[in-house]
A = this chain, B = another copy of it.
Amino acid sequence: MRRLVILAEGHFSVQGAKTAVGVLRFSSDETVAVIDSEHAGADVATVLASPGLGEGIPVVASITDALPFHPTSLLIGIAPIGGRLPDVWRPTIVRALEEGLEVISGLHIFLGEDHELRAAAERGGGRIWDVRQPPAAVAMHIGEGRPHRPGSHTIYFAGTDCNVGKMTAALVIERGARDRGWDAAFAATGQTGIMIAGAGVPVDRLISDFTSGGVEAMVSELAEQHAWVFVEGQGSLGHPAYAPVTLGLVHGAAPDAFILCHEAGREFVHGFPEFRIASLPTVMSMYTSAASWLGRTTPFVGVALNTYGMPDDAARAAIAETATSLGLPTTDPVRYGADVLLDALSDALI
């Protein structure tokens, strides 16, 4: 079991530190401290304003202040602009490696290829886990389009955009399924999901020729072992930059059903203000079309609507409106639990 210190310098909040918050919420590893000098002295629950999440976990100003809590690992919990390693983070990472800690990074740039960091790891006995380095077993796997084990159910969380809550919905529903006694697995496909699950395939980092194949290798293996496989979605088929990643997931995961994931009120593609997100029925038709290209008929069975930040009555109204307009069971599983969607899956697939 790891004891994590999470680096979130200057950005520790629910919206600003997606990886940090995801790990705090879902990882089975214990978090012993969070680094953000702007909030040093507070506890995590206070900073996030989320009672029950991070109560008693201290926010500290530096790696030095975190060491007394005996961490085993420094986890980089924020994404830098442009994917490079900011110089200001270097001393923290060097110090962690010199102290013998594991450093867990989801950056596109691999810390294990950085001479200064490797030298620090050798000096101190630390090690580097570059989460976005594809596992060798899937890195050059060519897709075959094979059907899954009969009796298994694979569900893909199909987004209208990046950062709408696909991973969170998948994790909440996987947990709810296990609570019902279903044999369920979460297939992690992005850096935060892999940090939480401890394994997975960083799909956005696969070589494009092997995108479908790498996903297929992971998901078909999970479908051999489990009755339910909940596949974390990435991006959107309507995304101006990342749609090929999404298509590799849709084709490689070969889902039996989709759950639509949307953030209530989101109108434009995150970071691409000239691109309006299509209507929900149009987005759904993108996914069902893409599945049909390989001869598959894949229904939508429900909607996970992210209502973060909305008052309760507005959230319930948005959910009701979406359910009515699409004719699909809809909820915000983070706020209101997974039952609506688990019932929908059970009705559609069992």
Q: What CA separation (Å) do A241 and B208 show in the bound complex?
A: 10
Q: What CA separation (Å) do A144 and B241 show in the bound complex?
A: 6
Q: Which of A58-66, A170-178, A199-207, A305-313 contacts B (4 or more CB under 8 A)?
A: A199-207
State which of B145, B211, B238, B294 has its C-beta within 8 Å of the C-beta of A208.
Answer: B211
Chain B residues whose CB sits within 8 angstroms of the CB of A204 once the complex forms: 207-209
Please tell me if A316 contacts chain B, counting CB pairs below 8 Å.
no
Pair A248/B293 contact, Cβ less than 8 Å: no
Pair B142/A241 contact, Cβ less than 8 Å: yes
Chain B residues whose CB sits within 8 angstroms of the CB of A276 once the complex forms: 295
Chain B residues whose CB sits within 8 angstroms of the CB of A203 once the complex forms: 208
Please tell me if A329 contacts chain B, counting CB pairs below 8 Å.
no
Residue of B nearest to A142 (CB): B241
State which of B205, B243, B295 has its C-beta within 8 Å of the C-beta of A293.
Answer: B243
Specify which of A209, A238, A243 lies most central, judged by the most chain B CB atoms within 10 Å of its CB.
A209
Please tell me if A129 contacts chain B, counting CB pairs below 8 Å.
no
Contacts from A to B (Cβ < 8 Å): 83, 108, 140, 142-145, 203-209, 211-213, 237-238, 240-245, 247-248, 251, 272, 274-276, 278, 286, 289, 293-295
Chain B residues whose CB sits within 8 angstroms of the CB of A293 once the complex forms: 237-238, 243, 278, 286
Q: What CA separation (Å) do A128 and B248 show in the bound complex?
A: 32
A–B complex contacts, Cβ < 8 Å, 11 sampled: A83-B140, A108-B207, A143-B242, A145-B241, A145-B275, A208-B248, A212-B240, A212-B243, A243-B248, A244-B244, A275-B295
A161 to chain B, nearest CB (A): 13
Chain B residues whose CB sits within 8 angstroms of the CB of A244 once the complex forms: 208, 211-212, 244-245, 247-248, 251
Specify which of A142, A203, A272, A276 lies most central, judged by the most chain B CB atoms within 10 Å of its CB.
A142
Pair B207/A145 contact, Cβ less than 8 Å: no
**17 more A-B residue pairs beyond the given contacts A108-B207, A208-B211, with a C-beta to C-beta distance below 8 A:** A108-B140, A144-B240, A144-B241, A145-B240, A145-B272, A204-B207, A204-B208, A207-B208, A209-B241, A212-B240, A237-B293, A238-B293, A243-B248, A244-B247, A247-B247, A275-B295, A276-B295
Chain B residues whose CB sits within 8 angstroms of the CB of A289 once the complex forms: 286, 289
Specify which of A237, A240, A286 lies most central, judged by the most chain B CB atoms within 10 Å of its CB.
A240
Q: What CA separation (Å) do A83 and B237 show in the bound complex?
A: 29
Assuming the contacts A289-B289, A293-B238, asked whether A206 and B205 have C-beta atoms less than 8 A apart, the reply is: no
Pair B209/A205 contact, Cβ less than 8 Å: yes
Pair B241/A213 contact, Cβ less than 8 Å: yes
Assuming the contacts A293-B286, A294-B275, asked whether A240 and B251 have C-beta atoms less than 8 A apart, the reply is: yes
A136 to chain B, nearest CB (A): 14
Assuming the contacts A207-B204, A209-B204, A209-B205, asked whether A251 and B245 have C-beta atoms less than 8 A apart, the reply is: no
Q: What CA separation (Å) do A248 and B246 show in the bound complex?
A: 11
Pair A242/B209 contact, Cβ less than 8 Å: yes
Q: What CA separation (Å) do A83 and B139 show in the bound complex?
A: 13
Pair B242/A212 contact, Cβ less than 8 Å: yes
Specify which of A237, A241, A251 lies most central, judged by the most chain B CB atoms within 10 Å of its CB.
A241
Q: What CA separation (Å) do A158 and B299 show in the bound complex?
A: 28
Chain B residues whose CB sits within 8 angstroms of the CB of A243 once the complex forms: 212, 247-248, 251, 293-294
